Structure 1
């Protein structure tokens, strides 16, 4: 990027900023993706219900919030992309190169995330039209769908919607989108929550979720909770560094961190109060894995009064949650392209969206249509992309953040804006607690350490 392009880009950043409320909504939107509505219920079901939820809260406080604040502070101090903010905040060139990991990982995640986003869009249409419930073979429906070419069309639709939002900019695109859909998301959550807890037999599901059984917790549970706290807050993937660059200097990052963490936690709580009463009411195993959403829950909606409506609302909820995260993921490499190569926002969005779509096609085809992509070293191409990005790059990215903010960054106190007492606590967590836990998560997710 030449000097003139850099000045123009910096000027554009100064003009295109989040408002205080818009920033918090956008950051919450990045965290309330499919993870808490899709992944959280089944890992909670596998690990003892309420006991695991309490463990998740502890992990959120111990590792989630300190790293979240560090990423926001680095972004606001550096006023750049997920890579250049490390350098502009006071790091050397090596930190900029290491920061590439927090650009590559969201791009990889987005390539397969938009596939699942496309599934939610497809299922919302199927549910509202009633076609989803014409055949009770929900497993066959789902398998037939992901094993064909249709997911690629829905993937393209998801990429197009995401790109259309991001191309409009930070305030007119990302912020405006979240200001519209997050209140809608809240309304849908409340409607589905009321429906779920009033189902016959729902009380058993509520009890399972809210009454802890600590005997079911294992060291494995602790590492799973740590990993999910990390993933659900969008840590280690450059989103919060990128969003931090668009935050006004007057915004309290400590307050924003608490608000984002609270939003993520409340969403997880409500998700559990929707999923568990529904599954228990209809005799569905809540620990059966990802198929819970696309196979088991449609069966429950089909047996429910006005199931077509509530099923449609549920998948609209999923689609909104998926799109808010997809928008955040796309903004990271877009911001990097604008910073690194001086591209316009429009050019960045179009090129990166197309590359993301192309990279995602093998993932979509690996779920049944192309056998050669379905079993590559024991995993489908889709699963390899997920494994590399989520289990390797994200923990490494988070570890870099803790090391930079905890040990290297001389202006960490000023950037974080914390009072002396809270700053000492934050620095202690970043230096001595978070790195150890992140390394444990990395070792666990890569299979180096396992517990039986």
Structure 2
């Protein structure tokens, strides 16, 4: 029987490849997730607005982009999954085993990220239908939903949609999916930004986001900005290594790195120009935490002319951002199992999607139905988030910087940078990024107190 191109071993170099534009859009889709629209606004609000945003940009340049290029280079150089690419490049089995962390991390992340993605789909439906605005207490509505059985149903819907895209393969699935959704997301961003900037009192919110007050910065704010710059690019979780393995040789990794970083930054910038004018216009505290999106903003939409329309568009935007990320997260373990055990793409996607959905059940239950479901005094949802985001991702990033900076002898040929730029990039990977990532790890894991 003739083997389907999509089922070819991705590490063999015979699997399908992204087109240049498809790769950029898919990588931007992976990087641009819920964190930019959900987490970025409230941590910016908590840490002084514009000054924090500038700090985030600096951190993105000095840590995010160098590590991003390193991950893409590992993937393309090794033409394998997030684990075997290390061994194929350097012949060092230790790094291949350590690379397993970059397969485990996205698997764990998807088990709770899919839950939040399900919330966005539910809220999009509820907002467009007007049902979200029938009650007055949005906090109670959110708690009732997240602690009920419908949250499980929406998580299942997310995993089915994600699996369906992955089954289609690299070019026919992931690339086409992102070529439709990423431009659509940009259109929604612009529409919502215009609406937000034309609200009464929106200028004060825009000023908060665009005029820096450096007196509000602190050492803790610097570490928060550093951590978000690292995580917002999907680093340390194997997605960029996996996507890098599907990149054509003619693709400039330098240009791709700046395009992905620029796309991530543009999304965060426009998100700020949506969130802050809206919150200031309706007297909402932009730094109130995770409840900003699912509790405070619905209250703003309910008081806004055509609130059901703009609220619905907002949650559709969130859902698109979430789904482009869930696709990249599932592709990592799927690529691993296809190469490691020779599974077909369909078999790998279906089995892993089912297993990850089952893994999400304890997290779902811990949010309300079984609140006593805890590990180390943390709810199961929070525990999974803590282990994956605060331990596995920084460790994955450290492994990348150490491997590329000190063990990969022919890295210059793969990245294709001019000598001066290459020396700067290698210096950042060897001496700057590892220290800063170690600080991220110490701070996010609670070992470093400020």
Query: Match of 1:139?
Result: 139
1:376 is displaced (CA, Å) by 3.7
Deviations 1:333-391 (CA, angstroms, capped at 9, x unpaired): 00000111111101100110011000001001101110221x44332100000000000
Q: Residues of 1 paired with 2:15 and 2:50: CA distance?
A: 45
Q: Residues of 2 paired with 1:13 and 1:317: CA distance?
A: 35
How big is the alpha-carbon RMSD for the aligned residues of Structure 1 and Structure 2?
1.2
- Name structure 1 gaps, 5 residues minimum: none
Query: Match of 2:319?
Result: 319
Aligned 8 A contact 1:25 1:175 in 2: yes
Q: Residues of 2 paired with 1:447 and 1:23: CA distance?
A: 36
After TM superposition, the structure 1 = structure 2 runs for residues 273-284 of structure 1, keeping only pairs within 5 Å, are 273-284=273-284
Aligned 8 A contact 1:334 1:349 in 2: yes
Aligned 8 A contact 1:39 1:290 in 2: yes
Aligned 8 A contact 1:75 1:240 in 2: yes
Q: Residues of 1 paired with 2:333 and 2:108: CA distance?
A: 10
Q: Residues of 2 paired with 1:289 and 1:187: CA distance?
A: 27
Q: Residues of 2 paired with 1:222 and 1:307: CA distance?
A: 36
Q: Residues of 1 paired with 2:118 and 2:264: CA distance?
A: 23
Query: Match of 2:245?
Result: 245
Q: Residues of 2 paired with 1:206 and 1:348: CA distance?
A: 46
Alignment TM-score, normalising by the size of structure 2: 0.97
Aligned 8 A contact 1:28 1:264 in 2: yes
Residues 1:406 and 1:306: Cα distance change in structure 2 (over 3 Å): same
Query: Match of 1:20?
Result: 20
Aligned 8 A contact 1:91 1:409 in 2: no
1:243 is displaced (CA, Å) by 0.3
Q: Residues of 2 paired with 1:8 and 1:189: CA distance?
A: 37
Aligned 8 A contact 1:166 1:173 in 2: yes
Aligned 8 A contact 2:26 2:174 in 1: yes
1:450 is displaced (CA, Å) by 1.4
Aligned 8 A contact 1:71 1:401 in 2: yes
Q: Residues of 2 paired with 1:425 and 1:158: CA distance?
A: 41
Residues 1:8 and 1:157: Cα distance change in structure 2 (over 3 Å): closer
Deviations 1:71-121 (CA, angstroms, capped at 9, x unpaired): 000000000000011111124111110000000000000000000000000
Q: Residues of 2 paired with 1:23 and 1:126: CA distance?
A: 33
Query: Match of 2:190?
Result: 190
Query: Match of 2:415?
Result: 416
Query: Match of 2:153?
Result: 153
Aligned 8 A contact 2:81 2:336 in 1: yes
- Name structure 2 gaps, 5 residues minimum: none
Q: Residues of 2 paired with 1:199 and 1:98: CA distance?
A: 51
After TM superposition, the structure 1 = structure 2 runs for residues 331-370 of structure 1, keeping only pairs within 5 Å, are 331-370=331-370
Residues 1:236 and 1:109: Cα distance change in structure 2 (over 3 Å): same
Query: Match of 1:52?
Result: 52
Secondary structure of the structure 2 residue equivalent to 1:164: helix
Aligned 8 A contact 2:11 2:78 in 1: no
Secondary structure of the structure 1 residue equivalent to 2:367: coil
Alignment TM-score, normalising by the size of structure 1: 0.97
Secondary structure of the structure 1 residue equivalent to 2:288: coil
Aligned 8 A contact 1:75 1:85 in 2: yes
Q: Residues of 2 paired with 1:176 and 1:376: CA distance?
A: 40
Runs of 4+ in 1 over 2 A off after TM superposition: 10-15, 375-378
Deviations 1:34-69 (CA, angstroms, capped at 9, x unpaired): 000000000000100000000000000000000000
Q: Residues of 1 paired with 2:13 and 2:48: CA distance?
A: 46
1:11 is displaced (CA, Å) by 8.4
Deviations 1:200-221 (CA, angstroms, capped at 9, x unpaired): 0000100000011111111101
Query: Match of 1:379?
Result: 378
Query: Match of 2:130?
Result: 130
